[in-house]
């Protein structure tokens, strides 16, 4: 499983790295907070998968620590997206719906490929589970961007874009809490196992 999982992770890293560049560029051109938030999710996933590759096969304590770092970074991304969304709510620059929709659809396709590749590995330890959660969140985020693009097009308003960016920030924070919680549990478990081993 480890060799196959590593190959899958390399493919998913490439997909996410490319899509970060594409979506962040499109987000800047289209003035879309939702696209930028989704692009940051791609960047976070690229880092997450790289860290996962580094600790794959290491003892549980190291995998749990890696998951803890990933969970914390996801939380920081959520806070940044939330803060920038509040800022842009005051500016209300209307994004370009056509770019949002087309890039959102491209990103959804990329993420569905990643989700399908990772599907059978979704119930592993905190480190492996964090990879699954990130990919799942991306697919949900892509659908939200497409809905936001439709809302911007229909209303000629920035609010659908800002609302979706806010929802995505909340999703980042929720996933961060899940990953950190499981990682802390696994750290406690590894400490207990170590104490038992030392006692013997």
pLDDT of residue 99: 94
Question: How far is CA 157 from each of CA 17, 48, 148, 182, rounded to the nearest angstrom?
Answer: 30, 34, 10, 40
pLDDT digits (tens, 9 = 90+) for 29-59: 998 988 998 898 888 888 878 887 888 778 8
Which residue, among 28, 19, 27, 32, has the nearest Cα to 151 in the 3D structure? Answer: 32
pLDDT of residue 62: 84
Domain-by-domain residue ranges, the chain? 2-199
Q: Tell me the whole-structure pTM to 2 decimals.
A: 0.77
Tell me the mean pLDDT in the region 19-37: 93
2-199: CATH topology is Alpha-lytic protease prodomain-like (1.20.1510)
pLDDT digits (tens, 9 = 90+) for 175-193: 889 888 888 888 888 777 6
Tell me the mean pLDDT in the region 10-23: 94
Which residue, among 5, 95, 99, has the nearest Cα to 57 in the 3D structure? Answer: 5
pLDDT of residue 115: 82
CA-CA distance, 166 to 82, in Å (whole number)?
6
For the chain, what is the mean pLDDT? 85
pLDDT digits (tens, 9 = 90+) for 61-102: 888 888 888 888 889 988 988 888 888 888 777 899 999 999
pLDDT digits (tens, 9 = 90+) for 113-162: 988 887 776 666 666 666 677 777 778 888 989 999 999 999 999 999 99
pLDDT of residue 198: 64
Tell me the mean pLDDT in the region 3-25: 91
CA-CA distance, 68 to 78, in Å (whole number)?
15
Beta carbons of 160 and 152 less than 8 angstroms apart: yes
Beta carbons of 9 and 131 less than 8 angstroms apart: yes
């Amino acid at each position: 499983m480890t060799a196959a999982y590593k190959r899958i992770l390399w493919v998913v890293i490439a997909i996410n790295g490319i899509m970060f560049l594409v979506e962040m560029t499109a987000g800047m051109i289209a003035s879309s907070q939702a696209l930028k938030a989704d692009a940051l999710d791609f960047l976070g996933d690229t880092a997450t998968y790289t860290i996962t590759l580094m600790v794959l096969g290491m003892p549980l304590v190291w995998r749990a620590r890696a998951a803890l770092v990933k969970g914390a970074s996801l939380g920081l991304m959520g806070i940044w997206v939330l803060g920038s969304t509040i800022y842009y709510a005051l500016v209300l620059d209307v994004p370009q719906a056509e770019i949002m929709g087309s890039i959102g659809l491209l990103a959804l396709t990329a993420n569905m490929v990643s989700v399908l590749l990772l599907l059978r590995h979704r119930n592993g330890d905190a480190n492996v589970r964090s990879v699954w959660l990130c990919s799942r969140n991306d697919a949900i985020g892509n659908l939200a961007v497409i809905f936001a693009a439709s809302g911007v097009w229909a209303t000629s308003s920035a609010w659908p874009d800002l609302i979706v960016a806010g929802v995505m920030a909340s999703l980042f924070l929720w996933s961060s809490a899940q990953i950190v919680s499981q990682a802390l549990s696994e750290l406690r478990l590894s400490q207990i196992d170590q104490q038992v081993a030392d006692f013997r």
